[in-house]
Structure 1
């Protein structure tokens, strides 16, 4: 069972030279966390990263073979896009999808699991990169800060949809 200390903290590990594992415990049942993670009505409310960004485009076709696309916009009008395709969808337990940030960045395969104990959900995301160099480049981008910020926003957002 998760301890209170685990709530509100995103942990990052690198169990191999091609992986980043992010783990976060939320004080909510997994069906709610899964819905907030996969429903285009909810995702733009929390998957934002640094201040000053919005998500005007959130398209999700939640099925094996279905595509997803997010577009973020900064206050100055600049945009950033991410796309992918679902390989596995097993609500509310597991998702496997590809993720591409566009030209210059390699595609990753992300496996997200949601486990519930005592009304708390542990979300574990394994990001598999094609090479060690790609993983290390991602770690240098500020990815950890952006992911932590988004998961903080998700934690704050979950009570509003409970």
Structure 2
């Protein structure tokens, strides 16, 4: 049976191992334990993990800036796909964001993540052709 829970700092190593094994997901320096803990502290109760038999099989990070919500690192182990786990994780995060008064949520995908794009589009999410994402790296570290 799949159990869904809000992520805690104790979950870091197992969540990073899950993410590191996922095609279409890039683990960066920002995903260090310190970055993970800071993210959860700033966005309590908005990131969720799916667990079966004591092992994490899926996760999603949720957060907001006070106006807009953001989801990151949605991942489900290939052995557990097509069971509704990703949809349940997203629903948990969207419900938690809605409880915070957040009515619009964004995601970013790597351009070559065809499976991810198909999932999100099938769930009713849409591309915003009028937007362009720009980034700035104050430290110069592209892994930031």
Fold similarity call, TM over 0.5: no
Higher helix share: 2
Q: Scaled by the length of structure 1, what TM-score is found?
A: 0.29
Q: Scaled by the length of structure 2, what TM-score is found?
A: 0.31
